[in-house]
Chain A
Amino acid sequence: MSEPEVIVGIGGAAGDGTASAGNTLVLSMARQGIAGYSYNSYQSVIRGGHSWLRLRFSAKKPLNHGDQVKVLIALNQDSLDRHLQELPPGGVCLYNGAKFQPSYDPPAGVQLCGLPVPDLAPDAVKLPVMQNTVAVGAAVQMMGLGFETLSAVFETTFAKKPAVVQKNIEAARNGYDYAAKNFQPLDTPLHPTDQKWAQSSGNDLLAMGAALAGCKFYVAYPMSPATHILEWFANHAKRLGICVRQVEDEISVVGMCIGANHMGVRAMCATSGGGFALMTEAIGMAAIYETPVVVINVMRAGPSTGVPTKTEQADLTQAFGASQGDFERVVIAPISMGDCFVTPALAFDVADKYQIPVLILADLLLCEGSETVATEILDVEFPIDRGQLITTADGSTEEPYLRYKDTPSGISPRAIPGLPGYLYVSGSDEHDEDGVLLSDVFTDPIRRKKMVDKRHRKMSTILRDLPTPMLEGPADAETTLLGWGSTWGVIKEAAERLRADGVSVNHLQIKTMMPLHGDEIAAVVEKSQRLIIIENNQSGQFARHLRAETGIVAHGHIRKYDGEPFEPKHIVSAVNDIIGGQEVVDVLSIEPGWRTDHPTGTSGPWEGLKQVTRPGVPSKA
């Protein structure tokens, strides 16, 4: 018997307060031990447009935002019209009945819950966001939960404004009581548990994880969806003693980051694909300097400006090809928000040990979405390994010091500048073991080759320090579902459902993108009869990489590049299509029959759907 769950959708225009209503709900759930996962589809506008926040709650931790919203909180007419059609039987639609009316009949079995907001929250006349509070109160009641935790959330959220606390509590209470009297509760009530949950986004967790891994310098240029990493660091710089700078462009960002790393400080920077494009020349410089650097690319839908507020996994090839020339790099793609927390520590350790660039490929889904993470996962002290770093001049190093000494491992002990006795110059030109440039020597094929080989030798042992692909499900399953990065949670759930339906599948998720654990992947794939690769892009960037690295050709491909992330049902259905003979299934977030031709931001006429006239919602009096 599966754990009851509720998926809430909050729809409104930017500025309507979808995010704060969502935060209130999420916090009140987390504090009762109910886990959550949220994802916001929004537009690149500051006011107006359409913002669609989905929140999935269950005592069993949800690993994705799920399939279908059960509770719709519509903050404007447009959201009501767009999403009412998506509700399943047993679903609930909450809206301000004094302002909005559905433009068409709801699907069968859907409860229309118009709230007489002016009666329940008189302040809503001046302060329209009070309608959100009323709706949140009603939703909590219908989910079968008590009022106290919600009330306490207002107290902490508005701690500095007691009057606001009181008004919100009253409005929520009135919504709660109104729902108790007038609406049917949900058929999947939620139950509090004792688990302590922290609720945070991938951006926050990347930032906090980096800070706990010893990051003392963070530099960035604002770019969605990575900007919140910069804001987290800026807000914690003073307390944690971290130097945080916002500078003129990503070229400067990466230059400063490499400069600080070069001096021996753990430094990190983050951006999205466009900013990452500007950084690439310097990433090659870090490689030839053998200066560690950690760079995060929070991917969004491209190319160019693309769809800046939408998610995609299409910068894999960019990361592999970033900067000219042959050089060593690591590309890691965290597989969940919780994984975002531990990935910077791994990246820093590997970067320090091997003195190479480490690129973290996250995406908008992970970084702007949020999930509950068990507090014990966050309360850890990362063991920090700086590798062969010389930080004091104790005279033990043989003379003369060779920064780029040709060692069997390829790793040369790295002295931080400032120490007597270790003087060296790092050149973006090819150089000899002592750092002296060879690029201007008439010709020196032997030393040039020696230095390329030395750097490359580091890769011979690096795979053992990187996470191996994770197989879930029976090893002898007929079909293997392979995904990478952020799709772990959604594929995992889809695989479980498929197995429950009698389909023999297992699931292999890749976090280490480059270098690739080719042998480990091959060992899994050899045991199954069918390999299906699932990617949030159009061209199958990982499928091509796997083929290039291992010769493995997948039997089927599930791809999505409409800007939205996968939902479990998409994968279940596409896997069945592939088993049925299809080779490539392109998934779309819009269901057959859904209307999408409404104008943006305002509710236009809904021709084609049945127009209905509804009586006004009865007043409480």
Chain B
Amino acid sequence: MTAPATAVQVKDFKPEVHSDWCPGCGDFGVLTALFQACAQLQIQPHNLMVISGIGCSSNLPGFIRSYGAHTLHGRLLPFATGAKLANQEMTIIGTGGDGDGYGIGLNHFIQAMRRNIDVTYIVMNNEIYGLTTGQVSPTSETGMKTKTSPDGNLEGMLNPMALALASGCGFVARGFSGQMKHLVELYKAGIEHKGFALIDVFSPCVTFNKLNTYQYFKERIYKLEDDDHDTGNFHAAMDKAMEWDPTIPIGLFYRNPDPKPSLDALDPALTGQPLVQQNYTIDSETRGDLIREFM
């Protein structure tokens, strides 16, 4: 099929507003890859809604031309779930950071995966709190020194890959903002997955995280695609999820070979038209029946 004359291009997603991230921030790569993935999938900007929480990375909806909502710290997934249930014809992408999704918003993250709403969730994981200038995060490495763990982090690291697998997420992937082409492919597959998709992205904070730098990841990461990993094998995915240092896998960990329908496909109220397009008046016969229930 040849692309129509009005084919969507990367420039269609580029806004007049320039991002305010620090020079060298990993989030630039995350955003650029998103432009490319959406253009390659021919998503019309008006059919795309990007919803974020709060944090440096959550400023992303302001830097892409589409519909968007910049919500509250940790609360993007409830908003995104409501938005998707209201209009399942839109592509809903959630974006946020590790503190937002794995800290304050962790409950919603787990429930959204269990609920299997068709939202693609991109977590820019820099293993630090950046916007508040460098405090310990749920994904900060044990022993890491930060402003609020000056003698080293006493707590363990949250493992988003293993958590996602255990929570029933049907699409679990990890990318690196320094590997743009690879990231674009992960996004495309995640967006096309009908159901909740997690793409955790190593997105280095060049200002406040002096441990998990571009160099740190370049020395450790390898692609699962190069490793003969079976993405349909849950247990193999779990094994890969537990791997950390000296080698760290990136790529598609797991895609459920027998995916269940997403919540928006199951809810009987959403069959046919999206809620937002439905007639909302109730006819007088039905109204009469409702009244008779009280008699």
Question: Chain A interface (Cβ within 8 Å of chain B)?
Answer: 27, 30-31, 196-200, 204, 208, 211-212, 214-217, 219, 236-245, 247-249, 251-267, 281-282, 285, 289, 373, 375, 378-379, 381, 384, 391, 416-429, 436-437, 440
B16 CB to nearest chain A CB (Å):
9
Given A252-B111, A379-B291, the answer on whether A262 and B69 have CB atoms closer than 8 Å is yes
* Interface contact B280-A266, CB-CB below 8 Å: yes
B270 CB to nearest chain A CB (Å):
6
* Interface contact A260-B284, CB-CB below 8 Å: no
* Interface contact B82-A259, CB-CB below 8 Å: yes
B89 interface hit (Cβ, 8 Å): yes
Given A212-B287, A263-B276, A381-B284, the answer on whether A237 and B268 have CB atoms closer than 8 Å is yes
A212 neighbours in B (Cβ, 8 Å): 282, 287
* Interface contact A255-B86, CB-CB below 8 Å: no
* Interface contact B46-A243, CB-CB below 8 Å: no
Of the listed stretches B73-81, B169-177, B181-189, B198-206, name the one at the interface; the rest are far from the partner chain.
B73-81
**Sampled A-B contacts (26; CB under 8 Å):** A27-B295, A31-B295, A196-B295, A208-B290, A237-B268, A238-B268, A239-B286, A243-B270, A251-B75, A251-B108, A255-B75, A255-B82, A256-B81, A259-B78, A259-B83, A260-B275, A263-B86, A266-B280, A373-B294, A375-B291, A378-B290, A379-B288, A425-B50, A427-B70, A437-B62, A440-B59
**Interface residue range, chain B:** 35 or more
Provide the bound-state CA to CA distance between A253 and B107, in Å: 13
B267 interface hit (Cβ, 8 Å): yes
* Interface contact A255-B275, CB-CB below 8 Å: no
B234 interface hit (Cβ, 8 Å): no
Provide the bound-state CA to CA distance between A444 and B291, in Å: 55
Provide the bound-state CA to CA distance between A436 and B65, in Å: 12
B29 CB to nearest chain A CB (Å):
21
B281 interface hit (Cβ, 8 Å): yes
Considering only residues 30-59 of chain B, those with a C-beta below 8 Å from chain A are 44-47, 49-51, 54, 59
B72 interface hit (Cβ, 8 Å): yes
* Interface contact A243-B267, CB-CB below 8 Å: yes
Q: Most B CB atoms within 10 A — which of A236, A265, A421?
A: A265
Residue of A nearest to B110 (CB): A248
**Given contacts A214-B281, A241-B278, could you give 16 more A-B pairs where the C-beta distance is less than 8 Å?**
A30-B295, A215-B280, A238-B269, A243-B86, A251-B75, A251-B108, A264-B86, A265-B276, A289-B69, A421-B46, A423-B67, A424-B67, A425-B61, A425-B68, A427-B69, A437-B59
* Interface contact A243-B83, CB-CB below 8 Å: no
Top 10 nearest A-B pairs (CB, nearest first) are: A259-B82, A255-B78, A256-B82, A425-B68, A214-B280, A263-B86, A198-B294, A417-B67, A259-B79, A260-B82
B49 neighbours in A (Cβ, 8 Å): 417-418
Residue of B nearest to A285 (CB): B72
Given A198-B295, A416-B276, A423-B66, the answer on whether A263 and B87 have CB atoms closer than 8 Å is yes
B85 interface hit (Cβ, 8 Å): yes
Tell me which of A216, A239, A252, A418 contacts B78 (CB under 8 A): A252
* Interface contact A267-B291, CB-CB below 8 Å: no
Residue of B nearest to A437 (CB): B62
B81 neighbours in A (Cβ, 8 Å): 247, 252, 255-256, 259
* Interface contact B70-A267, CB-CB below 8 Å: no
Provide the bound-state CA to CA distance between A254 and B71, in Å: 12
B112 CB to nearest chain A CB (Å):
9
* Interface contact A243-B68, CB-CB below 8 Å: no
* Interface contact A426-B107, CB-CB below 8 Å: no
B20 interface hit (Cβ, 8 Å): yes
Provide the bound-state CA to CA distance between A206 and B177, in Å: 50
* Interface contact B280-A378, CB-CB below 8 Å: no
A211 neighbours in B (Cβ, 8 Å): 282, 290
A101 CB to nearest chain B CB (Å):
39
Given A423-B65, A426-B69, the answer on whether A199 and B44 have CB atoms closer than 8 Å is no
* Interface contact B294-A418, CB-CB below 8 Å: no
* Interface contact A245-B281, CB-CB below 8 Å: no
Given A204-B294, A241-B269, the answer on whether A251 and B83 have CB atoms closer than 8 Å is no
Provide the bound-state CA to CA distance between A249 and B51, in Å: 20
Residue of A nearest to B81 (CB): A256
Residue of A nearest to B78 (CB): A255
Bitwise, B1-43 to A at CB < 8 A (1) or not (0) is: 0000000000000000100100000000000000000000000
A217 neighbours in B (Cβ, 8 Å): 82, 85-86, 275
B90 interface hit (Cβ, 8 Å): yes
Given A266-B280, A418-B46, A436-B62, the answer on whether A428 and B71 have CB atoms closer than 8 Å is yes
A419 neighbours in B (Cβ, 8 Å): 46
Tell me which of B90, B280, B295 contacts A418 (CB under 8 A): B90
A369 CB to nearest chain B CB (Å):
14
Tell me which of A242, A381, A429 contacts B70 (CB under 8 A): A429
Provide the bound-state CA to CA distance between A200 and B81, in Å: 32
* Interface contact A418-B276, CB-CB below 8 Å: yes
B12 CB to nearest chain A CB (Å):
10
Question: Chain B interface (Cβ within 8 Å of chain A)?
Answer: 17, 20, 44-47, 49-51, 54, 59, 61-62, 65-72, 75, 77-83, 85-87, 89-90, 107-108, 111, 115, 267-270, 275-276, 278, 280-282, 284, 286-288, 290-291, 294-295
Given A423-B65, A425-B70, the answer on whether A199 and B295 have CB atoms closer than 8 Å is yes
* Interface contact B108-A252, CB-CB below 8 Å: yes
* Interface contact A384-B281, CB-CB below 8 Å: yes
Provide the bound-state CA to CA distance between A261 and B79, in Å: 10
Given A208-B290, A258-B79, A259-B83, the answer on whether A243 and B269 have CB atoms closer than 8 Å is yes
A391 neighbours in B (Cβ, 8 Å): 276
Provide the bound-state CA to CA distance between A166 and B222, in Å: 75
A285 neighbours in B (Cβ, 8 Å): 71-72
* Interface contact A420-B78, CB-CB below 8 Å: no
A240 neighbours in B (Cβ, 8 Å): 282, 286
* Interface contact A248-B71, CB-CB below 8 Å: no
Given A243-B275, A259-B80, the answer on whether A428 and B70 have CB atoms closer than 8 Å is yes
Provide the bound-state CA to CA distance between A215 and B86, in Å: 12
Q: Most A CB atoms within 10 A — which of B80, B81, B86?
A: B86
* Interface contact A417-B90, CB-CB below 8 Å: yes
* Interface contact A417-B291, CB-CB below 8 Å: no
A440 neighbours in B (Cβ, 8 Å): 20, 59
* Interface contact B281-A381, CB-CB below 8 Å: yes
Provide the bound-state CA to CA distance between A237 and B276, in Å: 16
Provide the bound-state CA to CA distance between A252 and B109, in Å: 11
* Interface contact B72-A281, CB-CB below 8 Å: yes
Provide the bound-state CA to CA distance between A263 and B275, in Å: 10
* Interface contact B46-A423, CB-CB below 8 Å: yes
* Interface contact A428-B276, CB-CB below 8 Å: no
B269 neighbours in A (Cβ, 8 Å): 216, 237-238, 241-244
A416 neighbours in B (Cβ, 8 Å): 87, 276
* Interface contact B67-A418, CB-CB below 8 Å: yes
Residue of B nearest to A281 (CB): B72
Tell me which of A281, A418, A424 contacts B87 (CB under 8 A): A418
Residue of A nearest to B44 (CB): A420
Tell me which of B59, B67, B291 contacts A198 (CB under 8 A): B291
Provide the bound-state CA to CA distance between A373 and B69, in Å: 42
A616 CB to nearest chain B CB (Å):
41
Provide the bound-state CA to CA distance between A566 and B87, in Å: 46
Provide the bound-state CA to CA distance between A200 and B67, in Å: 42
B104 CB to nearest chain A CB (Å):
10
B289 CB to nearest chain A CB (Å):
8
B111 neighbours in A (Cβ, 8 Å): 247-248, 252
B69 neighbours in A (Cβ, 8 Å): 259, 262, 289, 425-427
Provide the bound-state CA to CA distance between A237 and B278, in Å: 14
Tell me which of A254, A261, A262, A375 contacts B295 (CB under 8 A): A375
Provide the bound-state CA to CA distance between A243 and B71, in Å: 22
* Interface contact A255-B71, CB-CB below 8 Å: yes
Provide the bound-state CA to CA distance between A30 and B293, in Å: 13
Tell me which of A251, A266, A378, A426 contacts B291 (CB under 8 A): A378
B267 neighbours in A (Cβ, 8 Å): 243
B52 CB to nearest chain A CB (Å):
9
Q: Most B CB atoms within 10 A — which of A245, A255, A289, A379?
A: A255
